[in-house]
């Protein structure tokens, strides 16, 4: 791998396979070079050079994305941040961390823990994904209901613009009203406006061991009512509310050989976690709230984990995704968002349509209800059917205040559908911002918008 700086190599002897694909499996071509800079200055020098030449650049973190955003095309220059992985500073008094963008999420979590703090963002890809990629895609995960998305964890950003300008907006203050906050240009813009090189992160007090429960309900409406109740219940401090369809629990149970923790054969299940102040007292808070929900008929059965092992078993059910992706391959996977009031109708219409059209496939609904996030995994599907499934799902989102991507991003793969949930005026403003910061369009071309 050639890494001469600042001038670009013209021929690339060998590019390692791992830089060519993300977890979506999409591959687009062979880049001319992969650079793995060690400093912000190196990133700046490289971009200045690419900018002068009009050279397209693909930015890479841990390549765990599902939208193809980090997958290079023929002739691209790849900038992978994996060598910029230092935890630079932790202010253990206030709970603030300065980190280079290439540190893995797991390294950030561990460094926070070592300093007596907690970094709440968490994803299955934690060991591989990079914190800069988490910011560029505004990652979500399983703790959003309590701590928000990656956006809510970031106090400051250093980014390199397309022309090599280093934009250091490394404020570490909870409040700062001195001019527009520039963090938000880079968080969630998927590398289209700059390369994030450094982040200031807000850390949280270490939460107590959570109480974990599993419950069954007859409808998604009942689940939203339960969720509303738990958000308001005294003493309950909700840290996860992960819903799953009966078919999801059935499939996960068979593949992972896990018994359903509560009454089997129900249409809906939910894994609930609550982390409260007083261990002895809190179990009571969630238990009291669930007993009330049983009396009200919002749930039909529930179980509290009596041990860490049992809580793990509940979570394994929810986290059987890799086994399912294999068993149902080839699958089509969705990451939709909808208001609570729209969820039931959306799911019912899709269950009906998909079951009717593809009776031999499984259609598994699950997700982070508190974050408005519905995932759907459907498969196996023949190649030609896959676009029809996409068209059907996105058609059901139109006009319902929803999103085609709650947490995975747009990248290449969802770009054709952006107009389902963003207006022409919004897309035009995205274009104006792109022109203002990357007039030549060298950063992550072809992603999100043209």
Instruction: Between 96 and 260, name the residue whose CB sits nearer to its own copies.
Output: 96
Rounded to a whole number of angstroms, the minimum distance from the CB of residue 192 to its own copies is 8
Task: Tally Cβ neighbours within 10 Å of residue 428.
Answer: 11
The minimum distance between CB 140 and its own copies, in angstroms, equals 5
Site for its own copies in 420-439 (CB under 8 A): 421-423, 425-430, 432-433, 435-437
Please tell me whether the peptide bond between 380 and the residue prior to it is cis, using omega within 30 degrees of 0.
yes
Task: Give least dist CB 30 to its own copies, A.
Answer: 28
Q: Interface residues for its own copies in 402-421 (CB under 8 A)? A: 402-410, 414, 418, 421
CB 397, min distance to its own copies, A: 10
Subset of residues 288 to 317 that bind its own copies, contact rule: CB under 8 A: none
Nearer to its own copies, 261 or 370 (CB): 370
Min. distance of Cβ 260 from its own copies in angstroms?
Answer: 28
User: Which of 85, 372 has the CB closer to its own copies?
Assistant: 372
Q: Does 285 bind its own copies (CB under 8 A)?
A: yes
Number of residues that bind its own copies (CB under 8 A): 96
The answer to whether 302 touches 214, Cβ cutoff 8 Å, is: yes
162 contacts 442 by C-beta, under 8 angstroms = yes
Which residue lies nearer to its own copies by CB, 87 or 193? 193
What is d(CA 70, CA 294) in angstroms, rounded to the nearest whole number?
46
Nearer to its own copies, 79 or 448 (CB): 448
Cβ proximity to its own copies: between 189 and 212 the closer is 189
Min dist CB 432 to its own copies, Å, is 5
5, 113, 206, 348: residue in contact with its own copies (rule CB under 8 A): 206
Query: Given phi > 0 = left and psi -120 to 50 = alpha, else beta, which region is 190?
Result: left
| Binds its own copies (CB under 8 A): choice among 11, 13, 93, 309 | 93
Indicate the residue among 198 and 225 with the shorter CB distance to its own copies: 225
- Among residue numbers 214 through 273, which ones bind its own copies (CB under 8 A)? 224-225, 228, 231-236
CA dihedral sign of residues 59, 62, 63, 69: negative
99-135 core/surface letters (b: 16 or more CB in 10 A; e: else): bbbbbbbbbbbebbeebebbbbbbbebbebbbbbbbb
Query: Per CB under 8 A, which of residues 100..159 are in contact with its own copies?
Result: 137-138, 140, 144, 148-149, 151-152
Q: Is position 395 an interface residue for its own copies (rule: CB under 8 A)? A: no
Torsion angle (degrees, nearest 10) of CA 450, 2, 30, 158: -30
Task: Tell which residue, 393, 375, 449, has the closest CA to residue 418.
Answer: 449
- From 323, 340, 345, 416, residue interacting with its own copies (rule: CB under 8 A): 340
Contacts to its own copies from residues 174-193, by CB under 8 A? 174-185, 187-189, 192-193
CB of 152 to its own copies, least distance (A): 8
> CB of 427: closest distance to its own copies in angstroms?
8
Question: Could you tell me which of 218, 268, 261 has the C-alpha nearest to residue 247?
Answer: 268
Q: Does 40 bind its own copies (CB under 8 A)?
A: no
Residue 35, Ramachandran bin (φ over 0: left; ψ between -120 and 50: alpha; else beta): beta
């Amino acid at each position: 791998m050639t890494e001469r700086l600042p001038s670009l190599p013209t021929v690339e002897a060998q590019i390692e396979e791992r830089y060519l694909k993300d977890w979506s499996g999409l591959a687009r071509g062979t880049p001319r070079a992969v650079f793995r800079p060690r400093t912000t200055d190196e990133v700046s020098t490289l971009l200045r050079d690419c900018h002068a030449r009009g050279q397209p650049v693909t930015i890479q973190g841990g390549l765990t994305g599902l939208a193809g955003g980090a997958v290079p095309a023929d002739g691209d220059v790849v900038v992978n941040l994996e060598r910029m992985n230092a935890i630079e500073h932790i202010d253990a008094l206030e709970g603030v961390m300065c980190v280079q963008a290439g540190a893995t999420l797991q390294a950030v979590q561990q460094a926070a823990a070592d300093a007596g703090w907690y970094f709440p963002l968490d994803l299955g890809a934690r060991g591989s994904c990079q914190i800069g990629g988490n910011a560029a895609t505004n990652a979500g995960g399983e703790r959003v209901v309590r701590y928000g998305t990656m956006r809510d964890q970031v106090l400051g950003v250093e980014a390199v613009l397309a022309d090599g300008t280093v934009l250091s907006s490394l404020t570490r203050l909870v409040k700062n009203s001195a001019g527009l906050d520039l963090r938000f240009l880079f968080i969630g813009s998927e590398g289209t406006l700059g390369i994030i090189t450094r982040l200031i992160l807000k850390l949280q007090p270490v939460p107590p061991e959570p109480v974990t429960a599993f419950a069954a309900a007859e409808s998604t409406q009942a689940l939203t009512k339960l969720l509303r109740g738990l958000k308001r219940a005294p003493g309950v401090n909700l840290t996860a509310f992960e819903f799953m369809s009966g078919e999801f629990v059935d499939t996960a149970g068979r593949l992972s050989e896990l018994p359903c923790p509560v009454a089997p054969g129900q249409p809906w299940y939910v894994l609930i976690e609550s982390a409260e102040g007083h261990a002895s007292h809190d179990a009571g808070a969630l238990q009291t709230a669930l007993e009330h929900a049983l009396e009200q008929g919002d749930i039909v059965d529930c179980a509290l984990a009596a041990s860490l092992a049992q809580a793990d078993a509940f979570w394994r059910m929810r986290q059987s995704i890799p086994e399912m992706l294999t068993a149902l391959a080839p699958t089509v996977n969705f990451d939709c968002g909808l208001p609570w009031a729209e969820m039931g109708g959306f799911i019912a219409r899709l269950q009906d349509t998909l079951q009717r059209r593809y009776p031999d496939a499984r259609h598994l609904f699950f997700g982070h209800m508190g974050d408005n996030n519905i995932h759907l995994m459907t498969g196996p599907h023949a190649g030609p059917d896959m676009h029809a499934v996409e068209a059907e799902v996105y058609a059901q989102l139109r006009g319902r205040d929803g999103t085609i991507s709650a947490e995975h991003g747009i990248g290449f793969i969802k770009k054709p559908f952006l107009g389902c949930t963003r207006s022409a005026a919004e897309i035009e403003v995205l274009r104006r911002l792109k022109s203002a910061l990357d007039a030549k369009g060298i950063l992550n071309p072809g992603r999100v918008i043209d």
